[in-house]
Every structure is written in structure tokens, then in C-alpha cells.
Amino acid sequence: MSKRSVLMVGVFVLMVIVGNAEIDAFSGLASTAHANGEYNLFLPLICRPFQCGSDPIPPGDACPSECDSCVEGKCIIDCVSNTCRDITINCPSGFECEVICAFDYCQMTTINCPDLYTCRVICDGGYWGCEDLAINCSSEGMCSLVCEAVACTSTLLNCGNDACLAECLSSGNCFPIVDCGNSCSCTVP
């Protein structure tokens, strides 16, 4: 057997031995073993695989002009003080995105979420305040729509691959249209 073959067998045996321990993607240190008995093999120093409902922490930086304010890597777009009616909102990359809507200020608006990070749209107050709003979740970031009363009538939530949630805050019905697509977890009111 060549030295290379012996080395490959040694690496494989080590992976099987460590198989129940998750190895941190950057430090290569073993952590707690899985309690469910599954043998998942993880290679050190390789990016961690996609985990449903778990987004990375955004790096953030100087607050982009698209945002009304920024807090710890989250871009907040205020459609309560300013109208966002019938426009396209492109959330900036490198930030989580939160769009807050009230009255009829988000009717017929399109929101494009950031690529990797959490995107949240809040439709609070006012009947049909987010009517015909379209939210395009990114393929890899979590996405949620929070509706008060009937503010989300005909609101369209286009889910990506990550966790996707639409919820009603009041006891009455809200009527968003949710396209779960390939979402790993999709919650519809």
C-alpha cells in the first residue's frame, strides 16, 4: 500500500471515529455528539452546510442610503413616516432587512430581500395597508411577513429555500398569499 493510500485510509477512519461529533467549520474542534445516533461525517475547515432557519450574522457597516436607520447589522426601512407606495425596495446586501409598513403606504410595492440575511416585513395598522405588496425572499435568507388584521389582503410572499413565515397578529383573519416554493420550512396563517 502506498503512503497516500495509507493516509487516505487514516483520514477515513478518523472521520468515522469522529462521525458523531460536529466539527466546527473554522476551528476544526469537535463539539457535542449528536444524541440521535445518526452518523454524519463533517470535514474540518469546510463551510458549514445550509441549516434551515439559521442565518449568518450580517457584517453591517456604514448605514446604506436605502435604510432609514441601521441597528447592529439590520437595515430598517420606515414606510410609516414616508410612503413606499408603488415602488420597488431593494434591501442592501450585507444587512438584515426590516420594512415597516402602515396605512396604505406599501400598497402595490415590491420588496426584494437581501441574499444571505433575514428579511422581515411588518404590515401594521390600516385596512389593506399592504394590499398587492409583493415580497421576494432571497434563496438563502430567512423571510417573514407579520400582518395586523386585514392589512395583508392580497399580499404575496414568495419564499426562498430558507425558513419562511407568514403570521397574523390579531384574532381575525389576514389574507396573504404565500408561495412556499422550495422553502425548508413554511408557515402559513
Question: In the chain, where are the structural domains located?
Answer: 1-49, 69-187
Average the pLDDT over 14-27 and give the result: 33
Q: How confident is the model at residue 124 (pLDDT cuts 50, 70, 90)?
A: confident
Cα–Cα nearest to 71, from 95, 105, 47 = 95
Of 62 and 127, more confident: 62
Q: Which three cell numbers stand for residue 101?
A: 409598513
Query: What is the average pLDDT value for the chain, to the nearest integer?
Result: 78
Cα–Cα nearest to 116, from 133, 88, 137 = 137
pLDDT digits (tens, 9 = 90+) for 30-71: 333 333 333 333 333 334 456 899 999 999 889 999 999 999
Q: Which three cell numbers stand for residue 72?
A: 447592529
- The Cα 6–Cα 137 span in angstroms is 47
- The Cα 63–Cα 69 span in angstroms is 7
Cβ proximity of 37 and 59 under 8 Å: no
**What pLDDT score does 81 carry?**
86
Cα–Cα nearest to 175, from 146, 154, 157 = 154
**What pLDDT score does 186 carry?**
97
